[in-house]
Amino acid sequence: MPISTPALVVLTPGQAFERGTIDRRDVGPNDVLIDIAYAGICHSDIHQAREEWGRAIFPMVPGHEIAGIVREVGAKVTKHAVGDRVGIGCFVDSCRECENCLAGEEQFCLKGNVATYNGRQYDGSETYGGYSTLIVADENYVLRIPDGIPLDAAAPLLCAGITTYSPLRHWNAGPGTRVAVIGMGGLGHMAVQIAHAMGAHVTVLSRTLAKQDEGLALGADEYFATADPSTLKSLRNRFDLIINTVSADIDVDRYLSTLRLDGALVFVGLPEKPQRFRVFSLTGARRSIAGSNIGGIRETQEMLDFCADHRIASVIETITADDVTGAYDRVVRGDVRYRFVIDTGTIPAATVPAV
């Protein structure tokens, strides 16, 4: 018997959220049923709910930064127990047998993993995300949230946290390395905290100095405004690693010029349009351009434990179900410090199913 669940639904691209109900599958032997307490609003939710990345599945229930409490477990579940504090990130299944899945890099599953929403299970049924009150998922795709992190501030770690942790680890951020973060938003404010905790020297490259005090308080060593064209000129040959979290176009050549020998410019922000650069900007100092996509399950757990050990969490503004449509506009305007988190207890059951 499917489980009817209240949710916030977008019926067509860009429309306001409506309260509705969705069906979750019954709890299978390997499944965990989670009462969702909080769901973060990632800029990727906005891209998809507005269909900015190409064809999406509607009606849509976004949300891939999910934190809650286990209510029920299937007969074969060993990793989680009733009452545990848990989270779900950007995918809820993967093929489990391709070389990338076997390497623990399920985010790069060759069959294609099952996105938490705007995706399909391998049986073809649509997936619905965290803007709802409960979710059923295979235990292998559910993370433990350490006791030290409040559930609301933990939710954004499931995407913003792992998306920045993974490239910082991969490109060896640490003592003696100089890391720059472009964009002081949801991903950016996590990148600053994590890179600082890893021991790197951290520089924020923001459009203005409006968030400078908070950036420095979160662990940045330096903070520059890129709206001033002379700023990047003054930072030539400076960084080992740049994490670009901006979803708009950037002047790639100008940022490449700020990398030292062998430095890397890593895109995690996902602009709609292709980006341009001069090959000379790479060859001049053996620089590289790369991209990174969330992280695998094992690394996501490592990130959560790392954040607990270093007393890191997301800086959040908690909102109700009624605020979500307006919050999307505020994120796009850059008016959020630094992540909106929906209190999913404010999504009441609707009487008429919307999906």
Q: Specify whether the CB–CB gap between 167 and 243 falls below 8 A.
A: yes
Min CB(56)–ligand NAP separation in Å: 13
Q: Specify whether the CB–CB gap between 246 and 222 falls below 8 A.
A: no
**Residue 60 binding partner per list ligand NAP, Zn ion, none, with a CB distance cut-off of 5 to 8 Å that depends on partner kind:** none
Min CB(99)–Zn ion separation in Å: 8
Which of 3, 57, 69, 98 is the binder for Zn ion (CB under 5 A)? 98
Regarding 44 and contact with Zn ion (CB under 5 A), the answer is yes
Min CB(35)–ligand NAP separation in Å: 25
91-93/114-115 β-pairing: antiparallel
Q: Using the minimum distance from each CB to ligand NAP, give the nearer residue, 18 or 52.
A: 52
Dmax over CA atoms of the chain, in Å, equals 63
Which of 67, 92, 101, 180 is the binder for Zn ion (CB under 5 A)? 101
Q: Using the minimum distance from each CB to ligand NAP, give the nearer residue, 186 or 219.
A: 186
How many residues lie near Zn ion (CB under 5 A)? 8
Q: Using the minimum distance from each CB to Zn ion, give the nearer residue, 42 or 243.
A: 42
Q: Using the minimum distance from each CB to Zn ion, give the nearer residue, 61 or 101.
A: 101
Regarding 314 and contact with Zn ion (CB under 5 A), the answer is no
Residues in 14-43 that interact with Zn ion by CB under 5 A: 42
User: How far is 217 from 222, CA to CA, in rounded Å?
Assistant: 11
φ, ψ for residue 239, nearest 5 deg? -105, 150
Secondary structure of residue 154 in the 3-state scheme: helix
Regarding 95 and contact with Zn ion (CB under 5 A), the answer is yes
Min CB(217)–ligand NAP separation in Å: 15
Q: Using the minimum distance from each CB to ligand NAP, give the nearer residue, 47 or 287.
A: 47
> What is the sign of the dihedral through the CA atoms of 73, 74, 75 and 78?
negative
Min CB(230)–Zn ion separation in Å: 33
User: How far is 326 from 148, CA to CA, in rounded Å?
Assistant: 31
Residue numbers at the binding site for ligand NAP (CB under 6 A) = 42-44, 47, 159, 163, 183-188, 206-207, 211, 245-248, 268-270, 292-294, 331, 334
**Residue 293 binding partner per list ligand NAP, Zn ion, none, with a CB distance cut-off of 5 to 8 Å that depends on partner kind:** ligand NAP
| β-sheet bridge partners, residue 178 | 201
**Residue 331 binding partner per list Zn ion, ligand NAP, none, with a CB distance cut-off of 5 to 8 Å that depends on partner kind:** ligand NAP
Query: Which of 138, 142, 32 is CA-nearest to residue 95?
Result: 138
Query: Which of 99, 109, 104, 100 is CA-nearest to residue 140?
Result: 104
Q: Specify whether the CB–CB gap between 6 and 130 falls below 8 A.
A: no
Could you please report the per-residue DSSP string of 215-265?
HHHTT-SEEEETTSTHHHHTTTT-EEEEEE--SS---HHHHHTTEEEEEEE
φ, ψ for residue 46, nearest 5 deg? -70, -45
Q: Using the minimum distance from each CB to Zn ion, give the nearer residue, 119 or 263.
A: 119
Min CB(306)–Zn ion separation in Å: 19
Q: Using the minimum distance from each CB to ligand NAP, give the nearer residue, 70 or 187.
A: 187
Q: Using the minimum distance from each CB to Zn ion, give the nearer residue, 212 or 293.
A: 293
Min CB(86)–ligand NAP separation in Å: 20
Kindly state the tokens that stand for 256.
């490449």
Q: Specify whether the CB–CB gap between 298 and 139 falls below 8 A.
A: no
**Residue 297 binding partner per list Zn ion, ligand NAP, none, with a CB distance cut-off of 5 to 8 Å that depends on partner kind:** none
| β-sheet bridge partners, residue 40 | 341
Kindly state the tokens that stand for 239.
């960084």
**Residue 186 binding partner per list ligand NAP, Zn ion, none, with a CB distance cut-off of 5 to 8 Å that depends on partner kind:** ligand NAP
Residues that bind Zn ion (CB under 5 A): 42, 44, 94-95, 98, 101, 109, 159
